[in-house]
């Protein structure tokens, strides 16, 4: 795919190239683990300019649904979105990668990861992104590994980054109407404008840390046994995931405001979900243990 830019060495071009290559690396790794299915590749064009590459895996050996989306688009901010960004309506360029993996096995957490770069016609530009883990059954060793890997990537750039972005993640992935976290967090950052070259180096390290943080968990949990009770709890908790993405997620809202491609925007939604009425786990159960952590975020490393 041609990366859209008039300046082949611009920061936007380099970010776009990194995101595109990372997409391919993630897909190859996921296919190798799944062992049964490969990604369907859907290349698309954005009406105002540019396009993207959405890759979907479904009904595989490990992953019930997964999406790895790359986009590189340009267009005009709507009046509403310009107000939200506190700028005048103007042209924009945006590029990014977005990943969501929903495993079959309820013992394997769902994971989300995205990185993005946005540049406005007035010259303002910034990076954003992050990754978070959404388990259905809490295995603290897995969560510690996930956070420790992210902390290592953050520590290469600034000693405050992990604590700062971990806190930001806990605050961002909070389901307000449920008064609970979506999962056990990770890191989240947005509007990083200062020192763009140093920030891009940080973004690349976060991107390269994603597979190291998540894949060992998949390999360790994929043989864990589960039955219908675990499946029903997974489907119920997936409802929380869908609620957050549809009501609060910035990427979803940005895509809808800019009239983006709906199939790519909503690829993050789980393939099967339950909203059974007033489900309450038994006291001291594994399900109750998860909810305790979701009500009160922990420091994992």
> pLDDT per residue over 155-204, tens digit each?
999 999 999 999 999 999 999 999 999 999 999 999 999 999 999 999 99
CA distance 299 to 301: 6
CA distance 41 to 57: 9
Residue 283's H or E segment, with its range, is none
Q: What's the whole-model pTM score?
A: 0.93
159-168's contacts with Cβ under 8 Å and 24+ in sequence apart are 161/187, 161/202, 162/187, 162/301, 164/189, 165/130, 165/189, 166/299, 168/130
Q: How is residue 260 written in tokens?
A: 């983006």
In contact, 126 and 254? CB cutoff 8 Å: no
Kindly list the domain boundaries of the chain, sorted by start residue: 11-295
CA distance 194 to 208: 22
Helices 140-155 and 161-172 cross at an angle (nearest 10°) of 130
CA distance 46 to 69: 14
CA distance 163 to 189: 11
pLDDT of residue 83: 86
User: Which of 165, 185, 164, 144 is CA-nearest to residue 301?
Assistant: 144
pLDDT of residue 3: 44
Percent of the chain with pLDDT over 90: 85
C-alpha distance from residue 219 to each of 29, 96, 170, 264 (Å): 12, 27, 26, 27
CA distance 200 to 34: 31
pLDDT of residue 61: 97
Q: What is the dihedral of CA 115, 125, 248, 238, to 10 degrees?
A: -10
In contact, 55 and 97? CB cutoff 8 Å: no
Residues serving a catalytic function are 112
DSSP-derived 3-state class of residue 301: coil
CA distance 147 to 166: 9
pLDDT of residue 80: 83
The DSSP secondary-structure symbol of 181 reads E
CA distance 173 to 183: 8
In contact, 220 and 142? CB cutoff 8 Å: yes
Q: How is residue 6 written in tokens?
A: 């008039």
What does each of the 301 residues of the chain score in pLDDT, given as a tens digit?
444 444 446 999 999 999 999 999 999 999 999 999 999 999 999 988 999 999 999 999 999 999 999 999 999 988 888 888 888 999 999 999 999 999 999 999 999 999 999 999 999 999 999 999 999 999 999 999 999 999 999 999 999 999 999 999 999 999 999 999 999 999 999 999 999 999 999 999 999 999 999 999 999 999 999 999 999 999 999 999 999 999 998 888 888 887 778 888 898 999 999 999 999 999 999 999 999 999 999 999 9
Question: Class of the 11-295 domain?
Answer: alpha beta
pLDDT of residue 7: 43
User: Which of 163, 158, 136 is CA-nearest to residue 147?
Assistant: 163
């Amino acid at each position: 795919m041609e990366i859209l830019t008039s300046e082949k060495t611009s920061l936007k071009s380099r970010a776009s190239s990194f995101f595109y290559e990372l997409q391919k690396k993630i897909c190859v790794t996921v296919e190798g683990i799944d062992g049964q299915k490969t990604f369907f590749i859907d290349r698309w064009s954005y009406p105002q300019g540019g396009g993207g590459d959405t890759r979907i895996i479904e009904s595989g050996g490990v992953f019930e649904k997964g999406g790895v989306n790359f986009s590189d688009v340009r267009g005009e901010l709507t009046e509403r979105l310009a107000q939200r960004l506190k700028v005048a309506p103007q042209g924009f360029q945006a590029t990014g990668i977005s990943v969501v993996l929903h495993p079959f096995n309820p013992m394997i957490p769902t994971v989300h990861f995205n990185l993005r770069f946005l540049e406005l016609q007035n010259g303002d530009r910034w990076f954003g992104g992050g990754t978070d883990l959404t388990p259905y059954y809490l295995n603290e060793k897995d969560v510690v590994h996930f956070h420790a890997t992210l902390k290592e990537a953050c520590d290469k750039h600034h000693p405050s980054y992990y604590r700062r972005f971990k806190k930001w993640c806990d605050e961002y992935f909070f389901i307000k109407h449920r008064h609970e976290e979506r999962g056990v967090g990770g890191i989240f950052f947005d509007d990083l404008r200062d020192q763009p070259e140093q920030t891009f180096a940080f973004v690349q390290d976060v991107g390269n840390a994603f597979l190291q943080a998540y894949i060992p968990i998949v390999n360790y949990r994929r043989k864990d046994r589960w039955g219908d009770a675990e499946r029903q709890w997974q489907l119920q908790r997936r409802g929380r995931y869908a609620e957050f993405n549809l009501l609060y997620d910035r990427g979803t809202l940005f895509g809808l405001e800019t009239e983006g491609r709906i199939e790519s925007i909503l690829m993050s939604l789980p393939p099967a979900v339950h909203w059974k009425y007033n489900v309450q786990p038994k006291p001291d159960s594994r399900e109750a243990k998860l909810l305790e952590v979701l009500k009160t975020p922990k420091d994992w490393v």
